[in-house]
Structure 1
Amino acid sequence: MIFTPEHPPRGTVRDWLTARAVDGGTAIVFPETEETLTWAALRTTAEQMARGMYALGIAKGESVAIIHPNGRAGIEALYAALYGGFRATMINLAAGPDAIAYALEHSRARYAFVHHSQIDIYETVAPKGMALLDPNDLEVNADLPELSAEDHALLMYTSGTTGKPKGVVHSHSSLLAGGWTTAMAHELTAQDRGFCVLPIYHINGLCVTVMGALVSGGSLAMVSRFSARKFWAQADQGGVTWFSVVPTIISHLLHGAAAPGPAVCARLRFGRSASSALAVETQSAFETRFGVPIVETMGLTETAAQILSNPLPPGLRKIGSPGVPFGNEVRILLPDLTEAPTGTEGEIAIRGPNVMREYLFNPEATAASFAGEWLRTGDLGRIDEDGYVFVTGRLKELIIKGGENIAPREIDEVLYTHADVVEAAAFARPCKRYGETVEAAVALRSGADLSGQELIELCTQRLGGFKSPEVIHVLAELPKGPSGKIQRLKLADLIPIDAA
C-alpha cells in the first residue's frame, strides 16, 4: 500500500499492515526495554492472535476491550483486534473507576486484553461474565473473515455535556484517514520516526502517531508514559524525527532542566501540539530555547484526531491558530446552520473521510451531532481570509485539562451523592500548567458541617485524581437563571481565584 497525499487510504488496517510486513523494516522501537518490533513480526503476531480470538467464538465486529498502557503488549493487542475485524475498544486508564466500568458495560465486550498493572481495576469494575484474553493461549487457529473498509474498527469513549461517556465508532476507512491527514499535513515519509509519548487509548496517540506511521510507512519510538526528565534522552535513543504532544507537555519541557543534544536537534523536523490551545508565549519560548519548530493543530475523537494543522516551516504558521484543514473541509455555522461569512464567529463544523460513523447505541446523539454531512464540533471560531481557523470558545461546557475532556456533570453527580450537598456545579479555571483545571462550587443543607476537602476526597475515590476538583468552594447559593438552572459558566467569574 502506497501513501498518496491526494487520496485517502483505501482498504483496511489488515491490508495496510500486510503491505508494511511485505515491505519489511522496523515498526516500533521501545527505548525503555530496548526492544525492536518489525512490521513483519507485528503482522504475524496480530494474525495469530486474531485467529485465536475467532477460535474462542468472538464474532466479527464484536467489541474487544484493551486495558493497556503504551507498550509492546498493548500495541499487539490493538493490531490483533484491528487485523481480525473486531471493534478495538480502547479503555482510558485515566478515566476513573466509574467511567471505566461504564465503558466496559456499554461496549458489550465479552473479552478483554488486560495489562498486569491494570488487573486490580479490571477485577473491581469488569461486568459479570467478562473474560480475560491471554495472548499466550490464543494458539488454536481459525479462519479469518473478509473485511471491508466500512466495517467497524475502533471504539473510543469520550465525555459529553451530559456527563455520560459516548462511544465514538470509527471504521477502517475513517481510522486510516486519521493517519492520512497527519501524514499529509506533516509530509511524513518512510524515513520518519515519530515519538509516541501520548497514551494510545487517547485518539491523538492512536491516530496521529500509530496510524500516521502505518499509513506513511515510517516507524515509532514508544514509551510507557511521558517523562520530562527522560524525554530528550529517549528521543535521542529512539532516533525520532518528530513528536506529537499536548500543551502541558510542551510547558513541562520548556521549564525543565533537560535539553536536547545537538544530534537530537539536527534530526528533529518538528514538534506537534494538539488537544487544547497552546499559549502563544509558551510556543515562542519553546522554539527560542530548543530551536525546534512547534506546529499547532486541532483534532477530535470524532474525527480520528486531526482536522486542522499549521503548515510545516517555511509555510505560514499563524501563532494562536490551529491552522487550516488537511484532508477534510471546515466551515463556520451560524445558529440557523447556514455558513457564516469570512471572519464571522460561529460553530466549527467538519466534513471529510476521517469523521466518525456513529456514537455506539446512541442514534439520538449521533443525529444531533450532524448538520447534514457536517459534524458539529461544539467549538466556536472564525475563519480568516487565508483560511486559518481561530478558536474563540466552546458551546459545550467540557473542561479540557491537559488535553483530556472532562464532563462537569460527571463531577456534579458524584458531589450530589453526599447527603449534605444541595447544589453542585463543577467548572473550569484557567491554568498555566494544564490549560484548564477543575474546580467546583456547592451549597450545603442548613446546619451541615462539611469541608471542601472531604468532598474532594469523595470525588477522588469515585473519579480518580485527574478528574477531581482541586478546590471546592462552599457557597450559600449557586447562581441561577430565570428557569432555576445553575449558571455554571458564571462561577469562575463570581468566585475569586484565591477563594477557598
Structure 2
Amino acid sequence: MILHRDTPPEGTIRDWLDHRAMQGGTAFVFPEDWSTLTWSELQSEATRVASMLTTAGYQKGESIAIMHPNGRAGIVALFGALYGGFRATMINLAAGRDAIAYALDHCDARTAFVHDDVAELFALTKPDHMSSFKAPESTLFTILHHVKPEDHALLMYTSGTTGRPKGVVHTQASLLAGGWTTAVAHDLGPADRGLCVLPIYHINGLCVTVMGALVSGGSLTMCPKFSASTFWDHAEATSSTWFSVVPTIISHLLHGAADPDPATKARLRFGRSASSALSPDVQTAFETRFDVPIIETMGLTETAAQILSNPLPPGIRKIGSPGLPYGNDVAILTPDLQPCPPDVEGEIAIRGPNVMLEYLKNPDATAATFAGDWLRTGDLGRKDADGYVYVTGRLKELIIKGGENIAPREIDEALYSHADVVEAAAFARPCASYGERVEAAVKIRDGSSLSARELIDICIGKLGAFKAPDHVYFLNELPKGPSGKIQRLKLTELTQPE
C-alpha cells in the first residue's frame, strides 16, 4: 500500500491495517498510563474483535455502537468493527441523553462496546433491544466478511443544534480519503507523531488524527481529553511533531501559564486548527508566544473532516482563511447553484472522494444536501483570485438586522482583539424594531476588569454602531460541542437581556 499525493488510497481499512502491521512500529502512545500499541498488536486485536462479532452472527454493514472515550479499548473497538466490515457507529458522549438515546435507537445497532465509565449512561439511553457486547471466554478466529471500498464503514451523528441529529454514513473509501486529505496537506509521514486531544467520537479526532496516522504510517499520542496543564508536557514526553486542536483550545493555551520547552518548540512542525474560524488576533498572538506555526483548516462530518487547509511553511498562509482544497474540489455557488466569480459571496460546496455516501434513513435530507455531485455545506464564503477560501458565515447563523445580513464572525474577531477575551461569540436576539439585534457572549481571563461597555466600544470602533452588539454577556464557559466548537445557537436561551 503506497500513499500517493494525487490519488486517494485504494483498498479498505483492513488492507491498510494489514500493511502497517507488516511494516511494524508503534501506532499509539497513551499518556494516562504510558502504555503503547503497535500496528501489529492493533491488527491482532482488531482481528479478534472482528472474529467475535462475525461468529456472533452480525452481518456485514450492520451498525456496531461504540461508546468509548479516547483510549486503547476505544481504538480496538473502532478498528475491530472496521476490520470486520461492520458499520462503526461512534456515539457522541457529550451530546446529552436525548441525542444519545436517539442515535442508539436510530442506528439499529443490536450491540454496543461500552466503556465502564459510561455504563450508567448507556443503561439510561439504550433502546430495549440493545445490549452491551459480551466477549466470549475464548475467541475462535473465523473467516471474516469480504469487505469492499464502497461498503459502509462509519456512522457518525451531527450535533443536531437545529433539529434531530443526522446520521452521516461514510464508506471504507471515503473514510480512508478523510485521512488522506490531511496527510497530503500536512505532508505527514512515518516519522510524524500527532498529539490527539480531540475525541475520536468526533470526525476531527477520528479522521484527521487516527485515519491520518493509518494512511501516512505515523503514530499518535492519544490523550483521554484536552488539558491545558498537561498539553505541552505530553507533547514533550512523547516527541510529538504536530497537533490538531480547535480555536477554543488555542485560546486556552494562549492564556495559560505553561510554555513548551525549546526542544519541543523546535520539534513541533505545526499545530492544526479546525472546526470553527480562528481569530487572526489569537493566531498571531499564539505564534508570537510559542513560535509554533498554526495551520488553519476547515472540515465537516459529511466530508470525513478536512476540505481546506493552508499550506505548510514556507508556503503562503493567509491569516483569516482556512486555505486551499487538498484532495477535493471546492466551489462557491449562487442561490441557483451556479459558480460565483472570485471574491463574490455564496455557499461553499464540496466534491471529492472524502464526501459522505448519505444520511442514514433520510433520503430527503440527502437529496437537499447534494446538488449533482456537489455537497452543499451551508457555510457562506468567497474565493480569492489565488483560490483561497474565506468563510464569511453560516446560513443558519446569519444575523439579519433591519434587512441587512451581518456575519457573526466579524463581531467575534472584534471581541477577540482584546487580549483578555478567551472565548467570544456573537448571536441574534429577536427584536421588534429590527427583526433581530446583535448580542454577544464572552469568557474573559481570571482577574480581568474588562467591562461590557469597553467591548461594545471596541466593536463600534472596528465595525460601526449598526453591527456592534447591544449587549455583551459574561459567562464562565460558552456552550461547546464535542470538538470544542462554540454552539452559537444555544446562546439566546442561556442569556437574558437586562
TM range (shorter): 0.7 to 0.9
Task: Quickly say closer, same or farther: Cα 1:135–1:231, change in 2 above 3 A.
Answer: farther
Task: Quickly say closer, same or farther: Cα 1:349–1:428, change in 2 above 3 A.
Answer: farther
Task: Quickly say closer, same or farther: Cα 1:123–1:190, change in 2 above 3 A.
Answer: same
| Residues 6-405 of structure 1: pairs in structure 2 closer than 5 A | 6-135=6-135, 137=137, 139-160=139-160, 162-397=162-397
- Shift, 1:433, TM fit: 7.4
- Shift, 1:396, TM fit: 2.5
- Shift, 1:430, TM fit: 5.2
Kept in 1, the 8 Å contact 2:247–2:277? The answer is yes
**Number of corresponding residues:** 425
- The residue identity in structure 1 corresponding to 2:152 is H
Distance in 1 between residues matched to 2:342 and 2:490, nearest whole Å:
39
- Shift, 1:121, TM fit: 0.6
- Shift, 1:145, TM fit: 1.5
Distance in 2 between residues matched to 1:155 and 1:429, nearest whole Å:
34
Distance in 2 between residues matched to 1:135 and 1:202, nearest whole Å:
26
- Shift, 1:287, TM fit: 0.2
Distance in 1 between residues matched to 2:278 and 2:95, nearest whole Å:
23
Task: Quickly say closer, same or farther: Cα 1:433–1:16, change in 2 above 3 A.
Answer: farther
Partner of 2:65, secondary structure, is: strand
- The residue identity in structure 2 corresponding to 1:499 is P
Kept in 1, the 8 Å contact 2:54–2:145? The answer is no
Partner of 2:155, secondary structure, is: strand
Distance in 1 between residues matched to 2:331 and 2:444, nearest whole Å:
31
- The residue identity in structure 2 corresponding to 1:338 is Q
| 1:406-448 Cα shifts (integer Å, max 9, x gaps) | xx9xxxxxxxxxxxxxxxx9x99454679xxxxxxxxxxxxxx
Partner of 1:253, secondary structure, is: helix
- The residue identity in structure 1 corresponding to 2:142 is A
- Shift, 1:138, TM fit: 6.5
Kept in 1, the 8 Å contact 2:232–2:259? The answer is yes
| 1:112-132 Cα shifts (integer Å, max 9, x gaps) | 000000001100010002111
Distance in 1 between residues matched to 2:100 and 2:145, nearest whole Å:
30
Distance in 2 between residues matched to 1:233 and 1:8, nearest whole Å:
35
Distance in 1 between residues matched to 2:165 and 2:200, nearest whole Å:
18
Partner of 1:296, secondary structure, is: strand
Please tell me whether residue 499 in structure 1 is matched to residue 493 in structure 2. no
Partner of 1:234, secondary structure, is: helix
Partner of 2:396, secondary structure, is: coil
**Where does residue 422 of structure 1 map in the other structure?**
none
Kept in 2, the 8 Å contact 1:30–1:238? The answer is no
Partner of 1:165, secondary structure, is: coil
- Shift, 1:134, TM fit: 3.6
Kept in 2, the 8 Å contact 1:308–1:322? The answer is yes
- Shift, 1:292, TM fit: 0.2
Kept in 2, the 8 Å contact 1:167–1:359? The answer is yes
- Shift, 1:46, TM fit: 0.1
- Shift, 1:342, TM fit: 1.0
- The residue identity in structure 1 corresponding to 2:349 is A
Kept in 1, the 8 Å contact 2:191–2:218? The answer is yes
Distance in 2 between residues matched to 1:233 and 1:28, nearest whole Å:
17
- Shift, 1:6, TM fit: 1.4
TM-score normalized by the length of structure 1: 0.81
| 1:210-264 Cα shifts (integer Å, max 9, x gaps) | 0000000000000100000000001111110000000000000000011100121
Distance in 1 between residues matched to 2:145 and 2:114, nearest whole Å:
25
- Shift, 1:140, TM fit: 3.3
Task: Quickly say closer, same or farther: Cα 1:329–1:469, change in 2 above 3 A.
Answer: closer
- Shift, 1:395, TM fit: 1.1
- Shift, 1:4, TM fit: 1.2
- The residue identity in structure 1 corresponding to 2:87 is R
Alignment gaps of 5+ in structure 2: 399-407, 413-426, 428-435, 446-478, 480-485
Percent identity between the two aligned chains: 64
- Shift, 1:159, TM fit: 3.3
Distance in 2 between residues matched to 1:29 and 1:314, nearest whole Å:
30
- The residue identity in structure 2 corresponding to 1:150 is E
Kept in 2, the 8 Å contact 1:161–1:396? The answer is no
**Where does residue 451 of structure 1 map in the other structure?**
none
Task: Quickly say closer, same or farther: Cα 1:160–1:372, change in 2 above 3 A.
Answer: farther
Partner of 1:163, secondary structure, is: coil
TM-score normalized by the length of structure 2: 0.82
Task: Quickly say closer, same or farther: Cα 1:397–1:428, change in 2 above 3 A.
Answer: farther
Kept in 2, the 8 Å contact 1:60–1:86? The answer is yes
Kept in 2, the 8 Å contact 1:87–1:154? The answer is yes
Distance in 2 between residues matched to 1:138 and 1:239, nearest whole Å:
37
Distance in 2 between residues matched to 1:428 and 1:235, nearest whole Å:
38
Task: Quickly say closer, same or farther: Cα 1:226–1:138, change in 2 above 3 A.
Answer: farther
- The residue identity in structure 2 corresponding to 1:196 is C
Kept in 1, the 8 Å contact 2:63–2:87? The answer is yes
Alignment gaps of 5+ in structure 1: 402-407, 409-424, 435-458, 460-465, 474-496
Distance in 1 between residues matched to 2:61 and 2:301, nearest whole Å:
20
Task: Quickly say closer, same or farther: Cα 1:428–1:16, change in 2 above 3 A.
Answer: farther
Task: Quickly say closer, same or farther: Cα 1:428–1:109, change in 2 above 3 A.
Answer: farther
- The residue identity in structure 2 corresponding to 1:46 is A
Distance in 2 between residues matched to 1:336 and 1:255, nearest whole Å:
44
Task: Quickly say closer, same or farther: Cα 1:274–1:262, change in 2 above 3 A.
Answer: same
Kept in 2, the 8 Å contact 1:333–1:340? The answer is yes
- The residue identity in structure 1 corresponding to 2:341 is P
